[in-house]
Amino acid sequence: MPAKTLMVQGTASSVGKSIMVTALCRILKQDGWRVTPFKAQNMSLNSFVTCDGGEIGRAQVVQAEAAGVEPTVEMNPILLKPEADNCSQVVVKGKPMGRVMATEYYSSREQLWSVVTESLDKLSVQYEVVLIEGAGSPAEVNLKDRDMVNMRVALHCQAPVLLVADIDRGGVFASLVGTLGLLEPEERALVKAFVINKFRGDLSLLEPGLKWLEDRTRIPVAGVIPYYHDIHVAEEDSISLERRRTMKRKSDYILDIAVIGLPHISNFDDFDPLEQEEGVRLRYVEPNDELGEPDLIIIPGTKSTMADLKYLKRIGHARAIIDQAHKGKPVIGICGGYQMLGRMILDPEHVESSETQAEGLGLLPVTTTFSPVKSTHQVRGCVIAGRGLLQEASRLSVSGYEIHMGTTNGANDAAPFRIDERSRRPCKDIDGCLSPCGNVLGTYIHGLFHNEGFRRSLLSELAGRKGVAFHASARVLSKEEQYDRLADLVRNSLDMESIYRMIGLE
């Protein structure tokens, strides 16, 4: 029998759709249902690699983890990775299909729609419930005729829709009523309930507005989700970085870590575990910010290495990073950040740029050459270097994933990691480069800081250089515990009986 469905749509981007689907995935799993997430089309630079090497949006991986199932490419059959304002790399069922302009992409929408429906149909026979996430708003009138992710999906499977709005940004009633008013009658009929997200304060003060909304629309409010600070679930959009401006007081941290803010930053959830350590201040250094004297500089991954390297040189951050490194300040580059740390970046086939080469920061003795083939793998291995930044990490196990174009050569005996398993197949490879002084580290391993032993050995080494001891947080909650906390919050905030009736479950 085909799976039951429920769709979560929003009045705008970043109102909480992904988090809502994550919470509902966990709740249904807790209640004994086989549940899977689905998002037809995702636009994000935060991606992940499935066990068979397919690339999908990070949000669907988080939702799959919450549901207790293995992520697959069917959960996010189309992924758009922006490379410029009007150009993206298109990833279809986990594999890159090339770079396209927006107008070119929309001209192939019917062919892509068949990919969407085939993926949804496949999940529908494997699971009891499919929780579907929309994108942006279903009421973008200039895009409705090209819709492949909101109401077209809901109509295809006749999914009841929860419409989510963010009260923290203001105008919540106008956004809900306005969105509803711009839908076609058959679309509006699928909206079964509203959810108001990120509420602060006394709920009794909101209740008159909720009654007005229900009287006006004849649609119930399924619940109000409180604003929270103490639940940490990986987020998909770089918009979430804008909320990370609250700095810890100097008395509250002993280590200051600076992540270089790049225009095309990707996989920024690499650094979430560092942010959760009580003794660490993690800050993102934007164009007008001073780099200062951090204890560690991190250059993150990027979708456009050459463009972002040119950007760093133009705003002066490249020179500041080099100067700090020459003073002995530790620097770590992840993926595109690793490529920037080398001597040269070559792009003879113009895979990423119209330029054929660019001079790197020169902090590692490596050269990167781009090629059209993308490397996407889950990896497992261990630390094989025992000096410099990795003084306390030698022989520790690490796991993560790779997503990159091209190869980086020249590390030779300076590789800090040995890869023993790639895409679940045994191998004998090396990864990354560690400078002769041991202070500059480059690697292709995303998720490196999610390895608790590695993370805390690195932080201990950094603290020791300042003559202080790093006392790790008593315990950073695991992902499973975070999903359970999120589920508890949402379960206690929603009328779950009505949600179950909407889905058609007992």
pLDDT digits (tens, 9 = 90+) for 26-44: 999 999 999 999 999 999 8
Q: What is the pLDDT of residue 204?
A: 94
Q: Is the same domain home to 67 and 135?
A: yes
Contact 44, 81 (CB under 8 A): yes
Q: What is the pLDDT of residue 246?
A: 46
| Residue 464 to residue 461: CA distance in whole angstroms | 5
Q: Is the same domain home to 217 and 252?
A: no
Q: Is the same domain home to 25 and 81?
A: yes
> Coil, strand or helix: which one is 391?
coil
Contact 214, 222 (CB under 8 A): no
Give the C-alpha distances (Å, rounded to integers) separating 457 from 258, 367, 380.
18, 29, 18
Q: What is the pLDDT of residue 99?
A: 78
The neighbour count for residue 85, using CB atoms within 10 Å, is 7
Q: What's the CATH code of the domain at 402?
A: 3.40.50.880
| Residue 84 to residue 93: CA distance in whole angstroms | 22
User: Is residue 437 annotated as a catalytic residue, yes or no?
Assistant: no
Predicted TM-score (pTM) of this structure: 0.87
Q: Is the same domain home to 384 and 411?
A: yes
Q: What is the pLDDT of residue 83?
A: 78
The neighbour count for residue 353, using CB atoms within 10 Å, is 18
| Residue 319 to residue 39: CA distance in whole angstroms | 41
Q: pLDDT below 70 — which residues of the chain?
A: 1, 85, 102-103, 236-251, 473-475
User: Is residue 335 annotated as a catalytic residue, yes or no?
Assistant: yes
Q: For residue 348, give its domain range.
A: 241-476
Q: Is the same domain home to 74 and 206?
A: yes
Residue-wise burial string across 170-189, b where 16 or more C-beta atoms lie within 10 A, e elsewhere: eebbebbbebbeebeeebbe
Q: Is the same domain home to 423 and 490?
A: no
Residue type, 382: C
Give the C-alpha distances (Å, rounded to integers) separating 369 from 16, 302, 405, 416, 442.
39, 16, 9, 20, 16
Q: Is the same domain home to 280 and 209?
A: no
Q: Is the same domain home to 364 and 431?
A: yes
Q: Is the same domain home to 221 and 263?
A: no
Q: What is the pLDDT of residue 144?
A: 85
> Coil, strand or helix: which one is 31?
coil
Q: Is the same domain home to 462 and 489?
A: no
Q: What's the CATH code of the domain at 123?
A: 3.40.50.300
What is the SS3 assignment for 83-146? EECCEEEEEECCEEEEEEEHHHHHHCHHHHHHHHHHHHHHHHHHCCEEEEECCCCCCCCCCHHH
> Coil, strand or helix: which one is 363?
coil
Give the C-alpha distances (Å, rounded to integers) separating 470 from 279, 456, 459.
7, 8, 7
How many domains would you assign to the chain? 2
- Residue 413: both structure tokens together: 């005996």
Q: What is the pLDDT of residue 245?
A: 47
> Active site residue: 25, 335, 404, 433, which one?
335
Q: Is the same domain home to 161 and 303?
A: no
Q: What is the pLDDT of residue 241?
A: 52
Contact 455, 447 (CB under 8 A): no
| Residue 147 to residue 71: CA distance in whole angstroms | 24
Contact 339, 368 (CB under 8 A): yes
pLDDT digits (tens, 9 = 90+) for 167-190: 999 999 999 999 999 999 999 999
Q: Is the same domain home to 438 and 358?
A: yes
> Active site residue: 232, 264, 404, 446, which one?
446
- Residue 225: both structure tokens together: 């989700």
Contact 413, 453 (CB under 8 A): no
